[in-house]
Amino acid sequence: MLALVLTPLSAQWIKIPTAGIPRTADGKPDLTAPVPRTADGKPDMSGLWRQPNGVKYTINLDADLKPGDVVMQPWAAALYKERQDNISKDDPVGYCNFPGVPQMEAVPYPYKIIYGQGTIDILYEAFHTFRQIFMDGRELPKDPNPTWFGYSVGRWDGDTLVVETAGMNDKTWIDTGGHPHSEALHVTERFTRKDFGHIDLQIRIDDPKAYTKPWTVTYGLALMPDTEMLEYVCNENNVDTKHLVGK
């Protein structure tokens, strides 16, 4: 878990004007300017974003939900209790494994959305890795080889980017608190850019093997203007492992 809150000591390009940002007369980014659009008229979500509420949703994705909104199947409830009792000592992220979907968007680190040819891609500062969302109309693979990030396809619902992800392995945790999931997990993320500086992200967790009904969480993302990502190398200095002893 602590891997998630490393603080960089120094950096470059931490203060560099981002090209293409609308600015006020005094040069400040105008984060309430209208949503930019691509040549084909779709909202352009390109830019450096972060989830601005610290580790709130990283630790507990259902932090804003009411009791009864998230009902685990008995095995999942028992596993969640065990993870909570052990203070998340077995969190794969503590061992430099990927948080997976949807936790990657909830970590308090910047990530960059870029538009490729037939894809929308997310470059994550955390774990120095990336995720591809295929926009070329392909379907989610049937019976895929399970992976940490699964397989993601996206489509437009009006001005909302809808990303469906499936084919994840069952090693990732939904949050560092330990909400479990099975390989049946299907995540639907809905990205809506409200204005230049803000995205609403709605995440729907559908895993009938782990939860009695789907549950949905919404949080905001904030644009990070005039800066860049740092190089994040979890394996370089992972001092967590020896502290992950539980209870």
Partner 1 sequence: MRRLLLLAICLPLGAQWLKYPTPGIPRSAEGKPNLTAPAPKTAEGKPDLSGIWHIDGLGYSTNITSDLKPGDMLPWAEAVTKERVAKLGLDNPVSRCLPPGPSIGLFGELQKVIQTRDEVAILNESGIFRQVFTDGRPLPEDPSPAWQGYSVGHWEGDTLVVETAGFNDRSWLDFGGHPHTEALRVTERYRRKDFGHMRLEVTFDDPKTFTRAWSIGMDVFLVPDTELLETVCNENEKDAVHLVGKLSDEVKGEIAVPRETAAKYVGTYEIKQPRMNVGISEASNGKLMMDVNGKGAVELIATSQTTFLNEAMGAHVDFFPDAQGKTGYLILKIVEGDLRGERK
Name the site residues for partner 1 (rule: CB under 8 A): 9-13, 16, 19-20, 39, 46, 95-98, 112, 114-119, 121, 123, 128-130, 132, 134, 136, 138, 141, 144-145, 147-149, 151, 167, 228-229, 231, 233-236
Task: Using the minimum distance from each CB to partner 1, give the nearer residue, 55 or 123.
Answer: 123
Give me the least distance between CB of 85 and partner 1, in Å please: 26
Give me the least distance between CB of 125 and partner 1, in Å please: 10
Cα–Cα distance for residue pair 126/230, rounded to 1 Å: 9
Task: Using the minimum distance from each CB to partner 1, give the nearer residue, 11 or 65.
Answer: 11
Give me the least distance between CB of 60 and partner 1, in Å please: 25
Alpha helices in the chain (DSSP H): 56-59, 74-85
Q: Do residues 62 and 217 touch, judged by C-beta distance below 8 A?
A: yes
Give me the least distance between CB of 2 and partner 1, in Å please: 16
Cα–Cα distance for residue pair 144/34, rounded to 1 Å: 39
Give me the least distance between CB of 142 and partner 1, in Å please: 9
Give me the least distance between CB of 97 and partner 1, in Å please: 5
Task: Using the minimum distance from each CB to partner 1, give the nearer residue, 82 or 231.
Answer: 231
190 sits in the region (left: phi over 0; alpha: psi -120 to 50; else beta) called beta
Give me the least distance between CB of 168 and partner 1, in Å please: 10
Task: Using the minimum distance from each CB to partner 1, give the nearer residue, 15 or 66.
Answer: 15
Tell which residue, 1, 229, 212, 192, has the closest CA to residue 94. Answer: 1
Backbone angles phi, psi at 130, to 5 degrees: -145, 165
Q: Which two tokens stand for residue 85?
A: 């009792």
Residue 91: DSSP 8-state: -
Task: Using the minimum distance from each CB to partner 1, give the nearer residue, 63 or 244.
Answer: 244
Q: Cα Rg for the chain, rounded, in angstroms?
A: 18
Identify whether 102 is preceded by a cis peptide bond (ω within 30 of 0): yes
Q: Which two tokens stand for residue 180?
A: 């479990």
Tell which residue, 77, 39, 23, has the closest CA to residue 197. Answer: 23
Task: Using the minimum distance from each CB to partner 1, give the nearer residue, 70 or 104.
Answer: 104
Task: Using the minimum distance from each CB to partner 1, give the nearer residue, 41 or 68.
Answer: 41
Amino acid identity at 207 = D
Q: Which two tokens stand for residue 156?
A: 């437009």
